[in-house]
């Protein structure tokens, strides 16, 4: 009897021992399944949260008011002067402008047309003095060939009280100054009436591509635009102010930078 009981206990222990690995393996598989399900639930929750955040951001963005400033510049209807240097051989000087520096006409690889390269510390005015009507517009393009625009110190353009180029930037005037060396600093000022306006505008975006300048002069007011952005629209002249257009190259270039201009167009209005 004792031998039979011992034999039974040995057989039972063997069966339990043999079953344990299978039970352990099954338990491991069950745990893995639970972990995988939990991970899927967590991923689903994260995705739902991310989607909700994205939708919320989109909703916030779409609900923001959009401001349309428009573009109210209208060129004149009577041509006073046009110059794009198309008829001037590359490397030659232009007789349209006089200067205290050089006035070489060049081409830019990958860019249409011809351009006047602005010398450092050089001022340019029209050789033939123009007697502007009360209301007129002037447009032209500036191109900066640079690694970075801050290598230019700065470019100044506008109207001055005389047509001499004896000195760099001399005389009383109303100016637009593009301070490339600050990346986003533009100044409009008038020494005729002691007015100064500063604004921020991203000049870095105009590295190696044209910038279109438009000016609308109506009596003692001048509106200035860069492409389709209005920079200023204010009183800058006295009623008796003499106006002579000028543009000055930078006081200094760095790292082989160069500024060029072209596509000048001055228009008057028949009703002026």
Question: Range of 256's domain?
Answer: 78-268
Q: Rounded CA gap, 104 and 97, in Å?
A: 10
pTM score: 0.75
Quick one: pLDDT at residue 8?
46
- Whether residues 125 and 43 fall in one domain: no
Q: Which two tokens stand for residue 224?
A: 């200035």
Rg (CA), the chain: 37
Mean pLDDT of the chain: 84
Quick one: pLDDT at residue 82?
97
Residue 4 within any structural domain of the chain: yes
Answer with the one of 32, 66, 100 that is the final residue of a domain: 66
- Whether residues 229 and 130 fall in one domain: yes
Mean pLDDT in each 10-residue stretch from start to end of the chain (272 residues)?
A: 47 46 47 57 55 50 68 94 97 95 94 96 95 96 97 96 84 93 95 94 97 97 96 95 94 96 96 64
Quick one: pLDDT at residue 32?
56
Quick one: pLDDT at residue 224?
97
The CATH code of the domain that includes 218 is 2.60.120.560
The DSSP letter of residue 128 is S
Q: Rounded CA gap, 183 and 147, in Å?
A: 13
Q: Can you spell out the DSSP letters for 56-73?
A: HHHHHHHHSPPP------
- pLDDT tens string 198-229: 999 999 999 999 999 999 999 999 999 999 99
Quick one: pLDDT at residue 261?
98
Residue 51 within any structural domain of the chain: yes
On whether the CB atoms of residues 189 and 172 are closer than 8 A, the answer is no
In the chain, DSSP finds a helix count (H) and a strand count (E) of 1, 17
- Whether residues 60 and 144 fall in one domain: no
- Whether residues 110 and 7 fall in one domain: no
What total of structural domains would you count in the chain?
Answer: 2
Residue 71 within any structural domain of the chain: no
- pLDDT tens string 140-151: 999 999 999 999
- Whether residues 174 and 258 fall in one domain: yes
Answer with the one of 36, 66, 96 that is the final residue of a domain: 66
Answer with the one of 66, 87, 115 that is the final residue of a domain: 66
Quick one: pLDDT at residue 15?
42
- Whether residues 167 and 252 fall in one domain: yes
- Whether residues 49 and 162 fall in one domain: no
Burial of 169 (0-12, 13-18, 19+ CB in 10 A): middle
């Amino acid at each position: 009897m004792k031998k039979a009981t011992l034999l039974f206990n040995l057989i039972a222990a063997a069966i339990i021992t043999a079953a344990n690995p299978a039970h352990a393996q099954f338990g491991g598989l069950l745990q893995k399944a639970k972990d995988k399900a939990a991970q899927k639930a967590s991923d689903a929750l994260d995705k739902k949260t991310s989607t909700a955040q994205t939708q919320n951001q989109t909703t916030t963005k779409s609900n923001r008011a959009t401001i349309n400033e428009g573009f109210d510049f209208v060129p004149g209807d009577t041509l006073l002067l046009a110059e794009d240097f198309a008829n001037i051989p590359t490397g030659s000087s232009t007789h349209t402008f006089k200067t205290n520096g050089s006035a070489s006409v060049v081409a830019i690889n990958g860019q249409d047309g011809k351009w006047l390269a602005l010398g450092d510390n050089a001022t340019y005015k029209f050789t033939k003095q123009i007697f502007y009507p009360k209301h007129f517009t002037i447009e032209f393009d500036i191109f900066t060939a640079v690694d970075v625009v801050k290598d230019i110190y700065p470019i100044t353009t506008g109207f001055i009280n005389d047509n001499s180029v004896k000195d760099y930037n001399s005389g009383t005037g109303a100016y637009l100054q593009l301070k490339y060396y600050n990346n986003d600093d533009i100044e409009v000022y008038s020494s005729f009436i002691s007015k100064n306006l500063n604004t921020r505008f991203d000049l870095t975006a105009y590295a190696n591509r044209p910038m279109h300048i438009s000016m609308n002069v109506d009596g003692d007011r001048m509106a200035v635009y860069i492409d389709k952005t209005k920079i200023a629209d204010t009183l800058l002249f006295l009623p008796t102010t003499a106006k002579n257009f000028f543009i000055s190259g930078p006081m200094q270039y760095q790292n082989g930078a160069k500024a060029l201009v072209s596509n000048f167009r001055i228009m008057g209005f028949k009703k002026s």
